[in-house]
Chains A and B, each alone.
Chain A
Amino acid sequence: MSQPPSATTDTWMLWEVFIRPGAGLEHKHCGSVHAADAEQALHLAREVYTRRQEGDSIWVVPSAAITASAPVAKGEMFEPAADKIYRHPTFYQLPDAVDHM
């Protein structure tokens, strides 16, 4: 902030932050923080992303540990699933007792 970003943020690792909104729910990605190590990342994630009671559990993961699919590979990665509607479990007759499936 008061220093140019290159002086600090370049040397601090980037961490992805996952917050669980409550017991029984899943952790969801909510953003990232810069921190020198995991413990500090956890603290700063708490300060940046849970100030308004967003959750009760935090995961931090080094951004570098994430292997992401390439945007240019969208065609071969995801489009083949578009015409496979039979993969959706919507063709079954459910017993009346099973309301919410």
Chain B
Amino acid sequence: MQSPHLVYITRLADTALIHGQRLSEWCGHAPILEEDLSMANTALDHIGQARMLYTHLGQLDGSGHGEDHYAYWRDADQFRNLVLVELPNTPPAAATASQPRDFAVTMVRQWLMGSLMTLWWQALTQSSDATLAAIAAKSVKEARFHRQHARQWLVRLGDGTDVSHARAQAAVDALWPYTQEIFTTDAVERAVSDQGIGVAPSEFKQAWLDDVQNALAEATLQQPPEAALPCDGKNGRHSEHLSYLLTEMQSVARAHPEGVW
């Protein structure tokens, strides 16, 4: 049984890595060159955050593991990321992840996560874990830009053409239930919160809702009603999509263990 401190860092790290990996699928496929660079930059910000957190984890848990160990040598049930970030970039009704990507799905997720991580990293700058506080201080600046950029797109798509509005609304409807997991406080979050190491997202749920609702209104999008969706990625229970993502991400490292280039 790992300490709440380790589990909490693992959740943050895994969420950053899987989010970055999922977003990086757009590299070379974004609607225009400028946005292509932007999406790749953002994905690399997330992966950079994950690298710092994994390095910290390897020191904290006494294993001395490097970042690659956590990224490449664990299986899906050992990952503790939010399910929201592992969902594919395909349209909500897509039967398989091999269908074409939907820019609206990706940008709505970027918005929900951008708003969330801005608040989360901001809170973590006060962490009693000095390394985590330093990672948060760096990451919050990245998150503020991600949030701003995604917000622009949310409004542009929602308040755009009939087609872009319909696709953005479908994306909001599909992703909204997965935000529930974020604010379900468990023993790990209570413990790190009591110790001053971390913060439970439920502590800033209202601020997140205010931010998200404000943007949805400006984008002329409807906030879906609360719907119960039991999903629990932060305890290792994932959708079927994560293992496919990991298989691709880990394939080179596992085919060539200890490989360097």
Question: By the criterion CB–CB under 8 Å, are B31 and A1 in contact?
Answer: yes
The interface stretch among A18-26, A35-43, A72-80, A88-96 is A35-43
CA distance A47 to B42 in the complex (A): 9
Cβ contacts under 8 Å, B28 to chain A:
1
CB contact list, A1-52 vs B, under 8 A? 1-3, 8-9, 12, 33-36, 39-40, 43-44, 46-48, 51
Also in contact, A39 and B152, with CB within 8 A (given A1-B33, A3-B31) = yes
Which of the four size classes fits the interface of chain B? Answer: 10 to 19
Q: Which residues of A contact B (CB under 8 A)?
A: 1-3, 8-9, 12, 33-36, 39-40, 43-44, 46-48, 51
Specify which of B30, B41, B152 is in contact with A1 (CB 8 Å cutoff).
B30
CA distance A96 to B105 in the complex (A): 69
Query: Which 6 pairs show the lowest CB-CB distances between chains A and B?
Result: A47-B38, A44-B34, A33-B34, A47-B37, A2-B29, A8-B32
Specify which of A12, A46, A51 is in contact with B32 (CB 8 Å cutoff).
A12
Cβ contacts under 8 Å, B149 to chain A:
43
How many cross-chain pairs have Cβ atoms below 8 Å apart between A and B? 43
Question: By the criterion CB–CB under 8 Å, are A47 and B41 in contact?
Answer: yes
Question: By the criterion CB–CB under 8 Å, are A35 and B34 in contact?
Answer: yes
Question: By the criterion CB–CB under 8 Å, are A9 and B152 in contact?
Answer: no
For the residues of A in contact with B, the DSSP-based class is mixed
For the residues of B in contact with A, the DSSP-based class is helix
Specify which of B29, B35, B156 is in contact with A44 (CB 8 Å cutoff).
B35
Question: By the criterion CB–CB under 8 Å, are A44 and B38 in contact?
Answer: yes
Which residue of chain A has the shortest Cβ distance to B149 in the bound complex? Answer: A43
**B173 sits at the interface (CB 8 A):** no
Which residue of chain B has the shortest Cβ distance to A36 in the bound complex? Answer: B156
Could you give 8 example pairs across A and B, Cβ below 8 Å?
A: A1-B28, A1-B31, A2-B30, A8-B32, A36-B156, A39-B152, A40-B152, A47-B38
Question: By the criterion CB–CB under 8 Å, are A8 and B31 in contact?
Answer: yes
CA distance A35 to B33 in the complex (A): 11
Q: Mark B119-157, 1 if CB is under 8 A from A, else 0.
A: 000000000000000000000000001001100100010
Which residue of chain A has the shortest Cβ distance to B148 in the bound complex? Answer: A43
CA distance A44 to B37 in the complex (A): 8
CB contact list, B15-66 vs A, under 8 A? 28-38, 41
Question: By the criterion CB–CB under 8 Å, are B41 and A51 in contact?
Answer: yes
Cβ contacts under 8 Å, B36 to chain A:
1
Cβ contacts under 8 Å, A12 to chain B:
32
Also in contact, A1 and B37, with CB within 8 A (given A36-B156, A40-B152) = no
